[in-house]
Amino acid sequence: MRIHVQNPAGTSAFSFTRAQWDAAVKRHPDMRDLEVTIDNSDDGWSAALPVADIVLTWVDIVGAKLRGCDLSHAAPRLKLLSCNSAGVDRLAPFDWLPRDIALLNNSGIHADKAGEFGLMALLMLHNNMPAHIRSQHAQRWAPMHATTLKGRTLVIVGLGAIGGGVARLAKMLGMTIVGVRNGSAPHEYCDEVVSVSDIHKTLVRAEDLVLACPLTKDTRNLLSRERIALLPRGARVINIGRGQLWDQDAVCDALDSGHLQYAFTDVAWSEPVEEGHRLWATPGLILTPHIAADDRDRYNDITLDILFENIRAHAAGRPLPNQIDPVRGY
C-alpha cells in the first residue's frame, strides 16, 4: 500500500516530517510495509496521486486540488482520503466524493488539548478574568470575588472528542454536566444527556454553556438570538466549535445588555477577524485566534495514530472510526 502525505507549500509548524513518520511506524509495527512519500510541492503531488492508495493532507488542499476533478481518472487507486482536521465543513456539500473513496477526518486529535482549553475558559469566566484583564489594562486595582465551579450546571453541546474532553475535566472539578447531542445516548462524563431537539428546555438552566459540535447544515445558527434569550440572566457562553454555530452579533448584543455575564470564543464567522470588528472590543468577551484545539507538540503523532487505526479497520473490513458520512456532514 502506498500512502502520500501532502504538506502545505512553504513551511508550517504542523508539516509532517519523516522522523514523525518513522516514530509512528515504530509505535505501530504492523504499519511497517506502508510505502510513504512526503512532499509539499506540486510536482510531488502530481507524481504521487496516480499511485496512492491513501492520501493524508489538509482540508484546504483537498478543496483546492481534488474537489471538482475526476477522481476516478486522477487518483484511480485512492481508497482512503484523510484530512488532518476534525472539522471538514469547508468540503461540504460532498457531492464531489466518489462512493468508493472513504473521506476520513481527524476526530479524536483534540480531546486532551481542547478539553484543557475549555476548562481554562470556564475557569476564566468564573473568576471574572474578562473584567480583571480590562482592569489590568486600565491599571486599576478592582477586586471582584468569585466562587468555585463545583456544583454549577454546565451544558455542553456536542459530545464528540472535544465536548467529551471538556466534560471529563469539568466533571473532575465537580460540575453538573448536561450533554446535548443527536439522540440522547448516555455519556460517561455527563450527569444527563438530552437530544438537540429538546435544547430549548436545557438552555433555561445553563449557568455555563459550551459549544463543541461540528458545523453542519443542522447546527448552523444553533445558538440563535432567540435561544440566547432563553439562557438565564448572567449566563456564560463559550464557543470552541465553529463561529457559525452561534449568532455572533446576538452574543455581543447580549453582553452589551448584561443578559450574558461573559463569553469566550476561539472562533468567528470569518477568520482572521479584521481590525475594528466588534468581537475584539466587546466588554466581557475574550477572543482567541482559533488555537483551542491544536496540540503544538503532539498533533502529528496523534494524527498518525488515528489514521493507522483507520487503515487497520479498512484492511480488516471493519467500519472506519473516522469516516465522514456525506449526508450528516461529519
**Which residues contact a second copy (rule: CB under 8 A)?**
13, 112-113, 116-117, 119-120, 123-124, 126-129, 132-133, 135-137, 139-150, 169, 172-173, 271-273, 275-277, 280-281, 286-291, 294-299
* Residue 107 DSSP symbol: T
Pick between residue 133 and residue 204 the one whose CB is nearest to a second copy.
133
Pick between residue 52 and residue 175 the one whose CB is nearest to a second copy.
175
> How many C-alpha atoms does 174 have within 13 Å on its Cβ side?
5
**What SS3 state is found at 192?**
strand
CB of 171 to a second copy, least distance (A): 11
CB of 34 to a second copy, least distance (A): 27
Pick between residue 32 and residue 141 the one whose CB is nearest to a second copy.
141
Cell readout for 44 is 510531488
β-pairing, 260-265 vs 235-239, is: parallel
Beta carbons within 10 angstroms of residue 90's beta carbon? 13
CB of 82 to a second copy, least distance (A): 21
Pick between residue 99 and residue 296 the one whose CB is nearest to a second copy.
296
CB of 151 to a second copy, least distance (A): 9
Q: Report the candidate in 117, 199, 187 with the shortest Cα–Cα distance to residue 159.
A: 187
- Taking the C-alpha atoms of residue 285 and residue 238, their distance in angstroms, rounded to an integer, is 10
- Taking the C-alpha atoms of residue 298 and residue 163, their distance in angstroms, rounded to an integer, is 19
- Taking the C-alpha atoms of residue 285 and residue 292, their distance in angstroms, rounded to an integer, is 16
Pick between residue 114 and residue 223 the one whose CB is nearest to a second copy.
114
CB of 294 to a second copy, least distance (A): 5
